[in-house]
Structure 1
């Protein structure tokens, strides 16, 4: 279960790192990438004590590293919003926030250095909060993330209200995740005060809070990447549809290319990069549509006589396919037909998809009639 939960943040962080490698000067992207990297690095250590991975956190050094990483997560999250709003002014605010984070991190390190290393061994639930340094460590470690997550969560909520789907969906998920992280840190701070004063908090409650913190981090990661994932899924569906329709248009394209080979479009230059781009699925798809339409325009005068020219647009795909085969034979024999050009296989819709569906219907009719004749 933990491996599945960890896979999503790791995959998202890797994807953002890839994007940042392509656009290294993008300050908001750099901030969100570093935010995800630090969150992923701290994520295994945020699991409750029942997790096998929490054994890593049984060392004081790892505990310190976990909390410093969470400080970095909160800081870089703030930077993302600061740079997104105004890169120049945001840069000045980011430098001031960096100073605060460095001071908090230095205080954590100094605090941990004043007590024996073994007082930090164990989880939050087993730490002895009656030791002042331990109480200060956990209280201080949660203070800045609570502030940063609250501010960022409020900004995200405002953005979500003003955005449309799918961006609003992802923003709401991220806002809930950040506010939940802030709430979990705040609850943990209250627990620290209670235990420092000599009170007790049930281990079950502390385990629930720790698990909620881990889930909140996961929800935040999923939320900020949801629009990009949704866009990728939509792009993949479009790619598959274009690839499928490209193949379905092959019978019509081959017939028209046989009659009018000059209509086949060639790459606009000899540049190898342009040639590679021309081989892309989308370019080949649109090129095939244009070539089919050009061929139909050229062959249209051969399809009808004077008596049925007006009814040509009403022909069924099967009838039009039969006439196309006959017309290609006439073109091959050098027949000359001076009649005007007539539009063919036009759909009743105004969008390109309707037009393509009509071309595909004619192409499939050609393929079906060829199979029957064979």
Structure 2
């Protein structure tokens, strides 16, 4: 069934995320205590989320129930974990949109409410489901003693936290600058809205069944309408909460991979005139296009090898007169900075490459004419990528080479 596939996918995703965070936590526990402490909180959140999702599957629930041998205890544990997960998500959202002190104060205030809600769940569980040996506390048992009171605490607390996520996500998302933060807030708001809808469905079941009626659809379990709401809600919330962490890394990776590929023509050109600049020979273009790992290292090596060629075997072939001529041609064609300088340097490098390939005599003693003000890898790669593109496409290069 589709709903079963949704639940299994969520369980698998939560388990993988938990395993990744545990490995990261163990690796840095003795190296970076502050970061390890933050990761410990993430590990606890992932564990509670995995418990919530796993206990929502009938087979897992029956296995745990048989293992404990205590009526409805797995569902109590699931709901306690759900309250803790809701509080953690809410605290993360507070941290995204509120000043630090306000976020801490709001999180502490809601922590008190959460503890009171947990105490209420345990109390009503002991008074009703445990005493009556109920196998679970789903809404279809709303006529049993204290099940409605128990479920109203779950609906009330999780519903209020989800409503706050909807409010904060939509309110602050409208005011955030376009970018990952705005997207993250809208995802959080969407997730909160879907959770609210699922709890409305649960509340309707409680009221109707407690009043002696019935509804044509199930409230919980495989095939229930609630799962089709909670599945997308969970994904939206996880994406929104983690986006501030992984989106910058993904953007950096994509940017560096693009630069790595854009530098290939320039790198190949200098490699052909002196193979000694590279540690490894060129790979086929298709293989390079499919490269996904160690992009930062590969880009760094490519930038260094290009610069080594410019200050090494090509240094005495770089002609200041060619650079000045190319700069004048770029100005005549209306190019503004930095495109003008990129085209001029591309023309100068192209002329040097041609002179070396033709074995023309070098001009020792000339000063290095190509410099860069880049202070890091990204700035250097950006500039060399612009030169590489100009070598392939600029009319200034063609005109300079005659």
What TM-score comes out, normalization by structure 2 length?
Answer: 0.65
Equivalent of 1:353 in 380, 385, 394: 385
1:111-159 CA distance string (max 9 Å, x none): 1112353644146254x21123111111112211111111122112223
Unaligned 5+ segments in structure 2 are: 66-70, 278-293, 330-342, 372-381, 394-402
Matched, 1:330 2:361: yes
Contact 1:157 1:175 in 2 (8 A): yes
1:203-222 C-alpha deviation (Å, 9 max, x unpaired):
44652124422332233223
What is aligned with 2:50?
A: 40
Partner in structure 1 of residue 282 of structure 2: none
> What do the CA deviations read for 1:253-297 (whole angstroms, capped 9, x no partner)?
574687x9xxxxxxxxxxxxxxxx9x9333323323333443445
Aligned 8 A contact 1:170 1:227 in 2:
yes
Structure 2 residue corresponding to 1:298, chosen from 313, 316, 321: 316
Query: Does 2:229 match 1:212?
Result: yes
**Residue 115 to residue 148, structure 1, CA distance change in 2 (3 Å):** same
Instruction: Give the secondary structure class of the aligned counterpart of 1:202.
Output: coil
> Secondary structure, in 3 states, of the residue corresponding to 1:330?
coil
Measure how far apart 1:105 and its partner are: 0.9
Contact 1:38 1:69 (C-alpha < 8 Å) held by counterparts: yes
Measure the CA separation in 2 of the matches of 1:323 and 1:303.
14
> Given the alignment of the two structures, is residue 183 of structure 1 paired with residue 197 of structure 2, yes or no?
yes
| Aligned-partner Cα distance in 2 for 1:74–1:341 | 61
Alignment of 1:1-374 (within 5 A): 1=5, 2-14=7-19, 25=34, 34-46=44-56, 52-53=59-60, 55=62, 60-84=72-96, 85-115=98-128, 117=130, 119-122=133-136, 124-126=138-140, 128-163=141-176, 164-204=178-218, 207-226=224-243, 228-244=245-261, 249=267, 252-253=270-271, 255=273, 280-295=297-312, 296-301=314-319, 321-327=353-359, 330-331=361-362, 352-358=384-390
- Following TM superposition, by how much is the alpha carbon of 1:166 offset from its aligned partner in structure 2, in angstroms? 3.4
Contact 1:31 1:76 in 2 (8 A): no
CA RMSD of aligned residues (A): 4.4
Q: What whole-Å deviation, never above 9, does each CA across 1:55-77 have from its counterpart, x for those lacking one?
A: 45766111001100110011112
SS in 2 for 1:132: coil
* Residues 129 and 196, structure 1, Cα contact 8 Å, conserved in 2: yes
Deviations 1:34-64 (A, max 9, x none): 54442232123345xxx65554576611100
Distance 1:283 1:255, change over 3 A: same
Give the aligned partner of residue 334 of structure 2: none
- What is the alpha-carbon distance in structure 2 between the residues aligned to residue 198 and residue 158 of structure 1? 40
